[in-house]
Amino acid sequence: MDRNNYAKIALSVVPRILSAMDRSEISDTFGCFDKPYWHYKISDFPSARCQEPILTLAILHENKFRNNIYFKNPMAKLWADAGLEFLSHIQNKDGSFNEWYPNERSFCATAFCTYSASETFRILGYRQTDYNSISNMLEKAGLWLGKNEENVSNQQAGAIAALYNIYKITGERKFKRYAEDKLTNIHKAQSKEGWLPEYGGADPSYLTVTIDFLGKYYKESNNNKTLEIVAPALKFLKYFLHTDGSIGGGYGSRNSEIKLPHGLEIFSKLNENARFLADGIHEKIMETIHPGIMDDRYAFIYHVSYLQAFLEHKKSTPQSKPSKSKPDRLFDESGLFVRNQEYNIVINLKKGGVYKLHGNDRTFNDYGIIIVSGDKLLTTNWNNSSKYRKKENEIIVTGAFKDINTGKVLSPEKNILFRFFLLTGGRIQTATSWLKEVLRNKLILEAKDSQILYKRHFLLEDKKIIVTDEVQIEDEIKIDGIYSPSYFSSFYSPTSAFFDKRSLKNRDSIDIKELRDGPIKREFVF
């Protein structure tokens, strides 16, 4: 199977990247890709993650293929050099980098920026003696990553790939040990079902990110322990490749539908499930969410995996028979239930019964039920908030609506206070660590049980699904509205809400205004 679409997607993003870059050699911010910082001047610090496209420029400069106008172009090399240098200038003294705010010391930014910088360093063939400032930056970042941990699997995987690259550059074995220690930690955290935790649950979309960076690590290290982690992860993931080529959605722990293909292409040479996934994703890649249609921040970050996947596939691709998933599968620990009949449905039984349904060339995403009560926003869509009973073709999901953060935008007053703290107490790492934990709890993890109860009943037949919703609301509780939105994210998830042209199709409507008065039934026939 041809993989040219990967290259098309990646190349479509490059002009946007270069338009965002300060390409003026006389500028103090030469090499900066954060345009709101250097050009619009509406941001007071540059986000380090905006620098990750330096790797794209390095890859394009060194690899000849159709429509690559950047191959051996001296300007592409100059801009990659400048991007590396700028990244070194914005590194914190302790070796970390910032993503969302000053003095953040982001594990995420440090892991992924360091991978991009180290891989760029290796691809362009720098010697330490030629680029002392860059090699020093990498060593400082590696030391910081080695001493710090993050319980988000994809970020740990990014750190592993970065640390091993630093080992290859410097020859310092401590960086190899750091990478191996984090690999052990990932293995310990892995569910018996194969998934790796993302904010306390399984997210098939982000699992592709974790596999991607574990693949990059394995390609360089040949550490077979990686395969012990990846093999069950791939076996789990294959159940969540939908018939329309998408992976993930509102049923995942992070509501994400991103997908990275490079790791799948790497492991496809060894694992039939990886081959199945890589082929399935690419078959309909132009019809699903990809970096070419993402906003700049995430297009700049994720498109490089598509470029790497294209080049990886060109080298060699063994022929293997795709492995098909079984008709039904319940993953009890994650709460995910999958059925493949005339239709494909995935239900998160621990997340209020939210589901994603494919059939008759249509996709339906259910994001649960939302109730507006005064200034409160209540939802059934919350991780690990519901219980379920399953008997043959019937499933009943029950729980209490969650009272969640309403997602109000940042006010000028709060922003001033926030910045004041960052520029004073934020200089101390323990203070920024405390702040990050507070923000994570407030925006992602925090929710309270309400007094409103719900029950969702599924009847799953061979060619028909009936979903029945009931709510129990006390008369004294004021209800301003009951909704079943076409899109909803119950918590802060930056890698969500990307445009999908499938959303232009008429969504099956549901009238839930009278849900308070009795059950609402929805029927799907295939």
Q: Is residue 73 part of a domain?
A: yes
Q: Give the integer Cα–Cα distance in Å for 17 and 94.
A: 29
Q: Decide which of 263, 281, 315 is a domain's last residue.
A: 315
Are 277 and 377 in a shared domain?
A: no
The domain in which residue 511 lies consists of: 330-405+446-525
Q: Is residue 413 part of a domain?
A: no
Give me 197's structure tokens.
Answer: 């935790």
Say which residues have a Cβ less than 8 Å from residue 360's Cβ, sequence separation at least 6.
Answer: 343, 526
Q: Is residue 412 part of a domain?
A: no
Are 259 and 346 in a shared domain?
A: no
Q: Give the integer Cα–Cα distance in Å for 122 and 137.
A: 14
Are 275 and 340 in a shared domain?
A: no
Are 23 and 139 in a shared domain?
A: yes
Q: Is residue 220 part of a domain?
A: yes
Q: Decide which of 282, 315, 348 is a domain's last residue.
A: 315
Give me 465's structure tokens.
Answer: 């699904």
Are 286 and 338 in a shared domain?
A: no
The secondary structure of residue 129, as a DSSP letter, is T
What phi, psi does 416 have (nearest 5°)? -60, -45
Say which residues have a Cβ less than 8 Å from residue 430's Cβ, sequence separation at least 6.
Answer: none
Q: Is residue 342 part of a domain?
A: yes
* DSSP letter string, 260-291: --HHHHHHTTT-HHHHHHHHHHHHTGGGS--G
Q: Is residue 115 part of a domain?
A: yes
- Which residue(s) pair with 524 in the sheet? 465
Q: How far is CA 481 from CA 57, 352, 401, 484, 502, in A?
A: 50, 19, 14, 10, 27
Q: Is residue 148 part of a domain?
A: yes
Are 360 and 253 in a shared domain?
A: no
3-state secondary structure of 171: coil
Averages of pLDDT over each 10 residues, the chain, 526 residues: 88 97 97 97 94 98 96 97 96 95 92 98 82 91 95 96 97 97 97 94 97 98 98 97 91 93 96 95 91 93 97 68 68 96 93 92 87 87 92 95 73 69 68 65 69 95 93 83 78 72 60 74 90
pLDDT value for 323: 52
pTM of the model: 0.91
**Residue 286 buriedness (CB in 10 A; 0-12 / 13-18 / 19+):** middle
**Residue 293 buriedness (CB in 10 A; 0-12 / 13-18 / 19+):** middle
Q: Can you list the positions of beta strands (E) in 360-439?
A: 362-366, 370-373, 376-379, 386-391, 394-404
Q: Give the integer Cα–Cα distance in Å for 203 and 444.
A: 14
Are 64 and 196 in a shared domain?
A: yes
Are 83 and 190 in a shared domain?
A: yes
pLDDT value for 509: 46
Q: Give the integer Cα–Cα distance in Å for 331 and 58.
A: 42
Are 193 and 335 in a shared domain?
A: no
For every residue of 24-74, which 3-state class applies, written as one string?
CCCCCCCCCCCHHHHCCCCCCCCCHHHHCCHHHHHHHHHCCCCCCCCCCCH
Are 310 and 450 in a shared domain?
A: no
- Give the number of domains in the chain: 2
197 φ/ψ sector (left φ>0, alpha ψ -120 to 50, else beta): beta
3-state secondary structure of 354: strand
Q: Is residue 384 part of a domain?
A: yes
The secondary structure of residue 229, as a DSSP letter, is H
Q: Give the integer Cα–Cα distance in Å for 14 and 5.
A: 15
CATH of the domain at 155: 1.50.10.10
pLDDT value for 80: 97
Are 308 and 354 in a shared domain?
A: no
Are 220 and 284 in a shared domain?
A: yes
Q: How far is CA 29 from CA 20, 37, 88, 89, in A?
A: 12, 9, 12, 10
